Structure 1
Amino acid sequence: WQRPSRRPLPTGGNVELCFEIPFARVLPSDPAPSIDGDAAGSSGTAATAAAVTTSSTPSGKKYVIYDVNVRLDGAEPDPHPTSIERRYTHFLRLYDGLRKQCPQLLQGVAFPKKVLMGNFSAELIGERSAAFESFLDYIVTVPSLRESEHFLEFLQGDELRRACQLLDERRNEFAVPLLESTFRILNKIFLDKSKCVLLLLCRLVAACTTSPIPHPESEKWAELALRRYEHVCDTDLLVLYIPLLQTCLHLWWQRGRDRSLLEERLDEMGKKGIKVKGGPTLAQAIHALEPRAETT
């Protein structure tokens, strides 16, 4: 199934967050591809890894995968759209979770019901796609829904679990594209210095720098994390700042860059009585703050 036309661009010079499902596809009962294989004609990419994460089913039955495009559109379409693949069950879990948490806010939401026949018809897929777009558009207009754990789980849950598993297996080269794609999605939806965005950014920096040879994009993400951490006040997130500085200090040394500013910052914090040496690594600090599958 393919959307017949793109959603109209916002008017009046506004920039709007847009969810669009440009296409959906029915996947056959073939075994799920390996992360090292050529799934979807791509190898070692976020799309490949995400396909493995979201498209497998233990029952071997056919199912529909919806490609959810996340964009910030203005007078021109978002030049860097990002997408995630989700099934009906992902949307249903999101709806059920929000309905239990905020029943009053979900009263007027029409969610497509399960059907016993015709699951794979183009008409039904089109109707569901339109309903899912409206549902996501509504969520981001209501702060309590937008900031809920249910919505965050919908946006990043599958990819983050897979990325953490890959990091635990020391397969960072496959984890990094997943984390990059997830970061770009969260960065479009939430504030630059929101907890979920900064935590994901620090995960990305850790994934890029824990290999013997840093990832080619490691400096870009590390520099962004340092900029984002300026004036951060969230006490939970501040526990990552010293490990982040130490990670960047080591990375700058590996790249032959000037480390004086980082060293000065660490010295300043040390003079304030903050422990700057002998602490956890960035990956360990992240794991302590939000334990998941990775153990580094």
Structure 2
Amino acid sequence: MRAAMTRRSNDGSNDDELDSPSEGIETGTLAIKSNENMKNEFIWLRPNRRRFTPMNSPKAYFEISKAKIMPPEGEDVTVKRYVIYDLIIHQQVEQRDPNPVLIERRYTDFAKLFLSLKSEHPQLMNNIYFPKKVLIGNFSTDLIAERSSAFESLLDYISGSTTLKDSKYFVSFLQDHELNKACMYLDERRNEVAVPILENCFRLLNKIFMDRSRPVLLLLCRLVAACTTSPVPHQSADKWAELALKRYEGVCDTELLVLYIPLLQTCSHLWWQRGRDKKLITERLNDMSKKGIQVTNGPSLTQALHSLDPRTETI
């Protein structure tokens, strides 16, 4: 471990590239596959599950379970190879979360998060350790294990600080890879592919942030829009629409309230499509109209979302 640490450079620049398939691989922390069997295999497996300590952070805790090399050996030789970490997000409950969420992140994703937060909140991040770039040995299992532990500690620290947790950089780290991919599919009118990705994003954010927080409500409304913009609503549309209406009860964030009328209009149309009684939604819209609030001829839910959080989807 010490030998690996002494080989690092002094800057915090991107560090995904692998030096050599045979450089620095050591035994002890994982079982290494033979070269011919390494394709799509993990090169580092967590030797033990992270110890579960209930309520050691506000809502969630983080565990890196595996690491693999991408692209697989022999594929796309024009791309420099890098390490992908399997990051699992668990809800803080009395017992271990039965439905954790998995995302994949690279060293550069963690580095970008760390450096952005350090620039924005230097006092809060001043004493936080982050593994530096190394010049050789990125295949080293000791190095991967050390980095995994550091990444977990970093995410635990961020989620335990209200200031850091609410930073746009942390939200971007958690969702942008998947959200941008989902929005690309929406732009291609491939809603059936986008919806499962958005569902996973929502479950992840909901484990970390409060039910009516801005990231959670934005993602939930985007999920409702994705489920309802096709001629035939997605099979999960009712579930997410009902949850969004419930979550919006008591919302005071004026910025988020611009989504409320488009959400009500979307749900009204969905209820009509499903043959459901939309009396309560209609009454709510009429009450708002009597107060001088414009409830017709406004933006669609997708358009309102785009004004708050522009992505790639067509509006």
Tell me the percent identity.
59
User: What residue ranges of structure 1 are gaps of 5+ in the alignment?
Assistant: 33-57
Confirm whether residue 73 of structure 1 aligns to residue 116 of structure 2. Answer: no
Deviation for aligned residue 1:294: 1.6
- Is the CA contact (8 Å cut-off) linking 1:21 and 1:66 kept in structure 2? yes
Q: Is the 8 A contact 1:156 1:182 kept in 2?
A: yes
Residue equivalent to 1:122: 141
Residues 114-161 of structure 1: CA deviation (Å, up to 9, x unaligned) = 112110122111111011000100111111111111111101111111
Task: Choose from 94, 117, 128 the match for 1:109.
Answer: 128
2:276 match: secondary structure: coil
Distance 1:62 1:73 in 2: 35
* Structure (1/2) with the larger helix percentage: 1
- Pairing of 1:208-287 with structure 2 (within 5 A): 208-287=227-306
**What is the correspondence of 1:1-296 to structure 2 with a 5 Å cutoff?**
1-11=44-54, 17-27=60-70, 28=72, 60-296=79-315
8 Å CA contact 1:91–1:132 kept in 2: the answer is yes
Q: Summarize the Cα distance change of 1:118–1:21 in structure 2 as closer, same or farther, 3 Å threshold.
A: same
- The TM-score, its normalising length taken from structure 1, stands at 0.87
Moved beyond 3 Å, runs of 4+: 11-16, 29-32
TM-score, normalised by the number of residues in structure 2: 0.82
Give the stretch that moved more between structures: 8-17 or 286-295: 8-17
CA contact (8 A) 1:69 1:82 kept: yes
Amino acid in the other structure paired with 1:5:
N
Give the conservation status (yes or no) of the 8 Å contact 2:57–2:159: no
Distance 1:88 1:136 in 2: 13
C-alpha separation in 1, matches of 2:166 and 2:246: 23
Amino acid at match of 2:133: K
Q: Residues 287 and 295 of structure 1 are in contact (CA less than 8 Å); yes or no, is this contact kept in structure 2? A: no
Secondary structure of the 2:53 match is coil
| Aligned CA-pair RMSD | 1.8
Local SS of the residue matching 1:265: helix
User: For 1:71, what is the secondary structure of its paired residue?
Assistant: strand
Structure showing greater radius of gyration is 2
Partner of 1:42: none
What CA distance in whole angstroms lies between the structure 2 residues aligned with 1:283 and 1:178?
Answer: 17
1:55 corresponds in structure 2 to none
Structure 2 residue identity aligned to 1:290: D
Q: Which amino acid aligns with 1:4?
A: P
Residue-by-residue CA offset, 1:55-103 (whole Å, 9 max, x unaligned): xxx9512111101111113332101101110000000000110111111
Q: Rate the CA distance shift 1:31–1:266 in 2: closer, same or farther, 3 A.
A: farther
Q: Does the 8 Å CA contact 1:176/1:204 hold for their aligned counterparts?
A: yes
Contact 2:54 2:92 in 1 (8 A): no
Separation in 2, partners of 1:194, 1:74? 20
1:13/1:75 contact within 8 Å kept: no
